[in-house]
Amino acid sequence: MSVELSWPDTLPTPSRDRYRIRPGKGVRRTEMEGGPARQRRLYTQTPAGIPVLWRMTNSQYGLFEAWYEHKADAGATWFNTQLRGGQGMQNHIARFIDEFEATPISGGRWEVHAELEIRERPIFSEDELDILLTDDMDLLEISIAGLHTLTHTTLPIQVTL
């Protein structure tokens, strides 16, 4: 699903302080009278919760309040935003789970606390995982960086000569 609304570029990304990802529960566990408990997967996709903290200036906080109210429909609307995950900063589709809380701090700045719900966490595919489990990750990253330089820097320069 694509969404049209995006987090404003003029507002900061969430701070690393207190940032954590809580995947939704997609497994049901049934205790048995005898023997081990049984578990089964209920859903292939579960939303995850991410508590976030933004540190903002007065003007950024004013912009955030107006964007939240008018564009994000008081937090009810899904929006595109960059968030941290296992693959670094990635685009996520998110919305607010509940109202945000804002606290004034020294120097005319604000701390804004909220919890976001994200639809899908960008994770490696099963094929990518198989490669990563059998190959040296550090060597793979070096090879990818070299390939990127070759295709985006070296080859375009040689073609234009």
Q: In the prediction, which pLDDT does 160 show? A: 59
Check whether residue 134 and residue 93 sit in a common domain.
Answer: no
Parent domain of 93: 1-123
CA 26 vs. chain centroid, Å, equals: 19
Check whether residue 105 and residue 34 sit in a common domain.
Answer: yes
pLDDT tens-place string over residues 22-35: 766 766 778 888 88
Q: In the prediction, which pLDDT does 11 show? A: 95
Check whether residue 42 and residue 79 sit in a common domain.
Answer: yes
Check whether residue 69 and residue 130 sit in a common domain.
Answer: no
Q: In the prediction, which pLDDT does 121 show? A: 72
Check whether residue 79 and residue 108 sit in a common domain.
Answer: yes
Q: In the prediction, which pLDDT does 67 show? A: 96
> DSSP readout, 105-161?
EGGGEEEEEEEEEES------HHHHHHHHHS-HHHHHHHHHHHHHIIIIIHHHHHH-
Contacts of 110 (CB under 8 A, 6+ apart): 55, 56, 57, 58, 60, 61, 102, 103, 104
Check whether residue 80 and residue 37 sit in a common domain.
Answer: yes
H or E stretch at 66: helix 58-66
pLDDT tens-place string over residues 91-148: 888 999 999 999 999 888 999 999 999 887 777 777 877 877 887 777 777 888 888 8
Who wins on pLDDT, 109 or 40?
Answer: 109
Check whether residue 89 and residue 150 sit in a common domain.
Answer: no
**Residue 70 pLDDT grade (very low, low, confident, very high; cuts 50, 70, 90):** very high
